């Protein structure tokens, strides 16, 4: 059974710590992202999500408002749960929440996750760029 919790860090520090642990495993341990780059000044203002599969926390994400619209960020799924369609669930929930805001929606997708976002209405824009030593594309939602 899948359950998704939406929260702000200050309202639910316990869920935040679980989400940060998933991000630490995926980004810092697996992908060698500098922790200074992974945890930023937007943690307290972003809306965070945590997906539980049979009560095991396995996926996290967040979004925040920027001068360009709504930026989706920090999508991370523990390695053993990837490529099983679970990421669609958290993306669907985030999109359900942000579409009603009627603002442009965008993200910086790692190259290996582009197909997930393309299947969900995002298109690549511009040239590939490197962020935290990982290749990315800007992707915007076509609503």
Domains present along the chain, CATH in parentheses: 2-141 (3.40.630.30)
Residue 85, pLDDT > 90, answer: no
Residue 143, pLDDT > 80, answer: no
Query: Vertex 69, ends 91 and 32: CA angle to 5°?
Result: 55
- Determine how many CB atoms are found less than 10 A away from the CB of residue 66: 13
Judge contact between 59 and 90, C-beta under 8 A.
yes
pTM of the model: 0.94
Give the rounded percent of residues in the chain with a pLDDT score beyond 90.
Answer: 89
Smallest Cα–Cα separation from 106: which of 138, 76, 131? Answer: 138
pLDDT band (50, 70, 90) for residue 17 = very high
The arithmetic mean of pLDDT across residues 20-35, rounded, is 95
Residue 14, pLDDT > 80, answer: yes
- Can you tell me the distance from the alpha carbon of 66 to that of 71, in angstroms, rounded to the nearest whole number? 7
pLDDT band (50, 70, 90) for residue 87 = confident
Backbone angle region of 72, left / alpha / beta, with phi > 0 → left and psi within -120 to 50 → alpha: beta
């Amino acid at each position: 059974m899948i359950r998704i919790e939406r929260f702000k860090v200050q309202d639910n520090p316990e869920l935040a710590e679980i989400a940060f642990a998933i991000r630490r495993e995926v980004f810092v341990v697996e992908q060698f992202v500098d922790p200074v780059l992974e945890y930023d000044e937007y943690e307290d203002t972003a809306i965070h999500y945590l997906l539980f599969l049979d009560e095991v926390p396995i996926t996290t994400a967040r979004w925040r408002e920027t001068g360009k619209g709504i930026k989706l960020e920090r999508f991370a799924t523990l390695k053993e749960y990837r490529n099983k369609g679970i990421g669609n669930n958290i993306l669907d929930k985030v999109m359900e929440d942000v579409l009603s805001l009627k603002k442009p929606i965008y993200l910086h997708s790692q190259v290996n996750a582009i197909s997930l976002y393309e299947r969900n209405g995002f298109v690549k824009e511009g040239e590939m760029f490197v962020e935290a030593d990982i290749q990315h594309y800007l992707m915007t939602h076509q609503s």
